[in-house]
Structure 1
Amino acid sequence: MAHSIVIGAGMVGLATAWHLQERGVEVTVIDRAGVAAGSSWGNAGWLTPGKAIPLADPSLWTYGPTALLDPDAALHVPLRVDVNLWSFLARFAAHGTRRAWDATMAALTPIDKIALGCFDELSAGGVQAWTREGPFVIGFAQPSDATAFLREIEGARRHGQDVPLTPLDDPRELCPILSERATAAYRLDGQRFLEPGPYLEALGESVVERGANLRVGAAVTTVVGGPHPAVVLATGERLEADSVVVATGAWLPKLARGLGVRTRVQAGRGYSFTVKTDVPVEHPLYLPKQRIACTPYQGRFRIAGTMEFRRPDEPPQPRRIQAIVNQVRELLTGVDLDDRHDEWVGSRPVTPDGLPLVGATRSPGVFVGGGHGMWGIVLGPATGKMLAKQIVTGEVDPTIAPFDPLR
């Protein structure tokens, strides 16, 4: 039986392991911390292919400079000498054109279209965790604030996605915690959400129950390709397999640099916390102008936001949590923003061109899966399915062809 080592126990890594098992491959999953220890645990849990769109768009040229001067802005870049960071930002900004947006959206649309079906496949295969239909509530302080969001939705539709969006007569019809300051809202259908931590735990349990060896607390320092691909752990232990998959999120460059993967992966850190609400909230809420996503989570309400470009292992910045609080305080009511639980920071793996890195590297037998930016949760299962197909058959599915990690 063929054997594969998957490095990383987030959504992409575990989904790849699950689909390798579907194809009869024995799997070892290695993670330095544990299941969902990276950006998979504390995100908003949105399964929204209709919103899995390029991060860089023409508005970046007006929003970006303003955000740098606003301590409460969703985008945050530390003002310090960091050649690698500023080089990444220059390349990222270069993709903030309509032409680049359309090219990236065209490449993302095929995997967006199959994303939700891949969750159904995991469920049918025994993963004991739910995904739930919306609707999602999209709220604005005033109708004119919706212009940019509507343009994004129209862009996704133009590229072939079905994204049902309907104005709400009463912004509080589906989301009673919206305050009177929110004067316009829409309902977004055709999307789902989940609870990220419990879902990843269930996916990890399924992989183990199907025979995988899950090793946590094991840091991989080196990946070796060739006739006998292998990984070397920090302890000096060497493990060989028929293939190796690097799915380490924002930490991917540490192992991928020697594999011919030249596209930079920058940590775009997001923050979240949970709060109590006076009335139960059943539906996710998005505040596009503030770039804040909110989701019901285990009886509380998770509020997530910020794109902070720092190194992935830097300490959390409490000011980023406060920025989120400042942005939502006037738009929410019946929410205790001062009694916050589960404060969290996670590093999303962002690429300059907005496309993931999925496929074979220059080292024989070594593959990567990562670079999904904000969309690793929703696109993870589809990525894992197509990457497993490539590993076992050698065939690159058209769905992931644009994500060639050697581009």
Structure 2
Amino acid sequence: MHLCVLGAGIVGLATAWQLNRQGFEVTVIDRAAPGAGASGGNGAQLSYSYVQPLADPSIWKQLPKLLLSPSSPLKLRPQLDPLQWRWGLAFLAACNAKTSRETTAQLLALATRSRIAFEAMRDELQPDCDFSATGKLVLYASEASLEGARRQLELQRTLGSEQRLVTPDECVAIEPALADYRGQIAGAIHTPSECAADCLKVCTELEEALRARGVRFVLGNDVKGFDLRRGRVAAVRTSGGDVPADFFVMALGSASHELGAQLGVYLPVYPLKGYSITLDVDPAPAAAPRVNVTDSARKVVFARIGSRLRVAGMAELVGHDASIPATRIETLAEATRAVFPRASRMDSLHPWTGMRPATPTGVPIIGKVAGAPSNLLFNTGHGALGFTLAFGSAQQISRLLDAKRS
């Protein structure tokens, strides 16, 4: 059976990897190089045991700042875009305690499966990707925010996560590079099992391994539409010609909505624009962090990838705008100077932006969608957790297709 994967980000490549291992003939199509989209400069954290859905009851109190403040880490700028309004209203409807609990449970279950599948890939492929398993600290600046974190911790504990609340002094003991920032910490959640890796390097290694195993790559080709026959996709139309296959998997991130609309299918996937910088670290002991750190107040994450520090954050609902405002990059630089003042000389920031494909609840779309062609599956909408969830959702897709073969 010939399968065509649309998209060569981490989700598409993980899908191709899993399908190839299952013995399928696989073709991967993308307009750019593998990992060139939202995967390339992401936060690098693999958050298998600690997830905090963006759709949370606390959003309601933040609405004025989201709409008006130029410095808010979460930014909503209303536009004449029906998708933005439809997605935004669904997002606000999901900002309640019940939905947040249900989303947390679903994401943690998927993340657990993803960890197992990612480790299986690492054992088999041994990729050079700056992998580390040093744990994660999520920092909170006030007692009020810490109380909210405590409730999330208790919920995740009932779902099998192992983590604990730690004091500022314990934070510094776990990550000595936080010593200068100790006075700004009310407390933190420590999850010792969390990991990090360079997602772009994983994408590059996967491409090389897949090519060696006979997977065909059709790169530099835009997906334009579909050749539909009797309720099925006969071929995907690209700027370089038609590509036929027996089954298709759409893993095109934030571009999925537009292509779904061509099929008369509504995919609630909207781009959450994020930014990152990547810094060379000072090798002195305790200068730069080795533990993953998330500053919850700033909505900024820090991940050590080899001799570099990835600093990523912000979520903007501003459509497909690939510009990189200097103010947003300076925000990340300022956060680095505040939290880890000795981490880097910051000679070169390597600024990046990416469009993280998000659903209103934060739960990705995996599998069939009502009204879509019978031989088209979807694997999209992973938001900021694409790297974390990629191999679990790929495994889910491969099981669905394996059942079609038997």
Q: Higher mean Cα deviation, 184-193 or 7-16?
A: 184-193
Q: Distance in 1 between matches of 2:238 and 2:330?
A: 38
Q: Secondary structure, in 3 states, of the residue corresponding to 1:232?
A: strand
Q: Distance in 2 between matches of 1:342 and 1:43?
A: 12
**In structure 2, what is the equivalent of residue 267 of structure 1?**
271
Contact 2:83–2:270 (Cα < 8 Å) also in 1: no
**In structure 2, what is the equivalent of residue 285 of structure 1?**
293
Code of the residue aligned with 2:164 in structure 1: it is L
Q: Distance in 2 between matches of 1:276 and 1:6?
A: 35
Structure 1 unaligned residues grouped into runs of 5+: 396-407
User: What is the CA distance between 1:35 and its match in structure 2?
Assistant: 0.6
User: What is the CA distance between 1:305 and its match in structure 2?
Assistant: 0.3
Q: Distance in 2 between matches of 1:48 and 1:3?
A: 33
User: What is the CA distance between 1:67 and its match in structure 2?
Assistant: 3.1
Deviations 1:76-132 (A, max 9, x none): 122544443233211101110112212323333321221211111212332524542
**In structure 2, what is the equivalent of residue 28 of structure 1?**
27
Contact 2:288–2:342 (Cα < 8 Å) also in 1: no
Code of the residue aligned with 1:220 in structure 2: it is V
TM-score under structure 2 length normalisation: 0.89
Q: Distance in 1 between matches of 2:18 and 2:78?
A: 43
Q: Higher mean Cα deviation, 14-23 or 139-148?
A: 139-148
Q: Distance in 1 between matches of 2:331 and 2:40?
A: 21
Q: Distance in 1 between matches of 2:139 and 2:350?
A: 24
Structure 1 residue corresponding to 2:225, chosen from 193, 207, 222:
222
User: Are residues 1:392 and 2:402 paired?
Assistant: yes
Contact 1:157–1:163 (Cα < 8 Å) also in 2: yes
User: What is the CA distance between 1:5 and its match in structure 2?
Assistant: 1.1
Structure 1 residue corresponding to 2:326, chosen from 318, 334, 344:
318
Contact 2:142–2:186 (Cα < 8 Å) also in 1: yes
Q: Distance in 2 between matches of 1:16 and 1:123?
A: 15
**In structure 2, what is the equivalent of residue 67 of structure 1?**
66
Map residues 3-402 of structure 1 onto 2, 5 A cutoff.
3-129=2-128, 131-158=131-158, 160-168=159-167, 169-178=169-178, 179-180=180-181, 181-186=183-188, 187-226=190-229, 229-235=234-240, 237-278=241-282, 279-336=287-344, 339-361=347-369, 362-394=372-404
* CA 1:340–1:62: 2 relative to 1, 3 Å: farther
* CA 1:135–1:108: 2 relative to 1, 3 Å: closer
Q: Distance in 1 between matches of 2:265 and 2:362?
A: 15
Code of the residue aligned with 2:68 in structure 1: it is L
Larger helix proportion of the pair? 2
**In structure 2, what is the equivalent of residue 402 of structure 1?**
none
User: What is the CA distance between 1:7 and its match in structure 2?
Assistant: 1.0
Contact 1:42–1:344 (Cα < 8 Å) also in 2: yes
Contact 2:281–2:345 (Cα < 8 Å) also in 1: no
Q: Higher mean Cα deviation, 64-73 or 321-330?
A: 321-330
Deviations 1:192-212 (A, max 9, x none): 111111111112222111110
* CA 1:139–1:354: 2 relative to 1, 3 Å: closer
Q: Secondary structure, in 3 states, of the residue corresponding to 1:264?
A: coil
Q: Distance in 1 between matches of 2:78 and 2:373?
A: 37
Deviations 1:294-330 (A, max 9, x none): 0112412111000011223542233222233344543
Matched residue count: 392
Q: Higher mean Cα deviation, 123-132 or 113-122?
A: 123-132
User: What is the CA distance between 1:170 and its match in structure 2?
Assistant: 4.2
Q: Secondary structure, in 3 states, of the residue corresponding to 2:125?
A: coil
* CA 1:53–1:390: 2 relative to 1, 3 Å: farther
Contact 1:229–1:366 (Cα < 8 Å) also in 2: no
* CA 1:389–1:265: 2 relative to 1, 3 Å: same
Q: Secondary structure, in 3 states, of the residue corresponding to 2:367?
A: strand
Deviations 1:239-275 (A, max 9, x none): 1111111101111112222335313211001100023
Give me the CA root mean square deviation: 2.3
Contact 2:260–2:267 (Cα < 8 Å) also in 1: no
Structure 2 unaligned residues grouped into runs of 5+: none
Contact 2:6–2:29 (Cα < 8 Å) also in 1: yes
**In structure 2, what is the equivalent of residue 401 of structure 1?**
none
Q: Higher mean Cα deviation, 240-249 or 258-267?
A: 258-267
* CA 1:127–1:330: 2 relative to 1, 3 Å: closer
Q: Distance in 1 between matches of 2:62 and 2:335?
A: 16
